[in-house]
Amino acid sequence: MNRQLTCVTCGSTYPLEDQRLRCHCGGLLDVQLDMDSAPSPAAFAATFESRLPSRLPPDLSGVWRYRELVLDVPPDDLVTFPEGRTNLYDLDPTPLGLSALWAKHEGENPTGSFKDRGMTVAVSWARHQGARALICASTGNTSASLAAYGARAHIPVFVLIPEGKIAQGKLAQALAYGAHTLQIDGSFDDAMYAVEQMATQRNLTLVNSLNPFRLEGQKTIILDSFFQLGQMLPDWIIVPGGNLGNTSAFGKALIEMKALDLIDRVPRLAVIQAEGASPFARAAQGDFQHFEPMQPETVATAIRIGNPVNYEKAVRAIRFTDGIVTSVTDAEILKAKHDLDRQAIGCEPASAATLAGLRRLTREQVVRPGESVLLIITGNLLKDPDTTIALATGQTAALGIPGAAALDACANEPRHVPSDPETIAGIIEEELQ
């Protein structure tokens, strides 16, 4: 299918090969599909389903399997593990009065987060264009993903991270995969400003979600869910909100799927932010008439962002889907994380904002009894082991979380016992009573 870059603000267009991050007016860019050249919905579905038995690398990917709706990249330039082979889990809907509840676990991607879906596209396109180096700002997951895909593509990688504000599991990945890791004395938003300036002035390829090709990969979370659910989507799709790349990508996916007649009903998006990092939720309260960045602080490091670059695209997504934006406390996030973890849907804190947000939206009767909901779990439990251990050992107060005492019931501390088998057996029997 034919494609071009289109400004979401003024509508100006550019060739795909034009190496720019923004329009001349400063607006964000979309990869725009030529809908007139699209095949029928049945032809799309038949093509995508026919690739399931294939062992070819693009077909094994839950991103490139949908390549007609992603990007045309020569096979020799593809950088894939493969990624996107993530499961969709049934959860019990009855406590919330729902008809169905699912969790799409993007933490099952190769580097443990949804970022891999976008990174395979951004890095493949960068390789196709002969990039000399790749750069990103990161709260952790982007750096881990870029480091891995850059290593596979044999392209140098530079990542900027806020010093002391990144979970150790994510930092370990970036270091292990060989990225040049630069810790700045500032926030993620400071790092984001720096990498955009350097990308423009120093001929470096930026792969944050400001890069429109990143979002083409992240669209496939919705496409994949659609086919896993038997070519249907639920009433609600709930996603954490940080830099708002997924919000933007999901909105774009739904706009395109509706235009292509793949769906006849558009699900509502709910974006959940942490209260301490909630500029999008605050803007939503005034119908997006005013946006004000904030200094972010939350235990959910993946969404600790105060000035999201994808704001305009995210507003479009909320408007198109009649969506909602809200926020939850860190204590609510960690309680939801505990409850998801106990169902073996292990996740990092930001992912649990989805369940915490769903609970709030059902209390407020925004999500109504009998409706169906899909939670997007964005990152693996092992991304932030320190917070998981603190939660399990009753140490959340040390993290500075208001209301931490309410989380004491989530504790599951290891017990020190003698090595005597009889004593151990007695403890086991006591627990089994």
Q: Which residues of 155-172 are buried (b: 16+ CB within 10 A; e: fewer)?
A: bbbbbbbbeebbbebbbe
State the average pLDDT over residues 298-311: 95
Residue 160 falls inside a structural domain: no
Residue 161 falls inside a structural domain: no
pLDDT at position 114 is: 97
pLDDT at position 1 is: 81
Task: Give, for 400, the enclosing helix (H) or strand (E).
Answer: none
How many structural domains comprise the chain? Answer: 1
Q: What mean pLDDT is reported for the chain?
A: 96
Q: Considering only CA atoms, which of 355, 339, 326, 142 is closest in space to residue 241?
A: 326
Token pair for 419 = 């090595």
| Share of residues in the chain with pLDDT > 70 (%) | 100
State the average pLDDT over residues 254-262: 97
Distance CA 404, CA 401 (A): 5
Residue 17 falls inside a structural domain: no
Residue 346 falls inside a structural domain: yes
pLDDT at position 164 is: 78
Residue 360 falls inside a structural domain: yes
Q: Given a cut of 90, is residue 7 above it in pLDDT?
A: yes
Distance CA 341, CA 412 (A): 12
Beta pairing class for 268-274 and 324-328: parallel
Q: Given a cut of 80, is residue 233 above it in pLDDT?
A: yes
The three-state secondary structure class of 149 is helix
Backbone angles phi, psi at 201, to 5 degrees: -95, -20
pLDDT (tens digit per residue) in 154-171: 999 999 998 877 888 899
Residue 9 falls inside a structural domain: no
pLDDT (tens digit per residue) in 396-429: 999 899 989 999 999 999 999 999 999 999 999 9
Residue 307 falls inside a structural domain: yes
CATH number at residue 286: 3.40.50.1100
Distance of CA 84 to the CA centre of its chain: 12
Token pair for 151 = 């290593």
255 is in which domain, residue-wise? 88-110+215-410
Residue 29 falls inside a structural domain: no
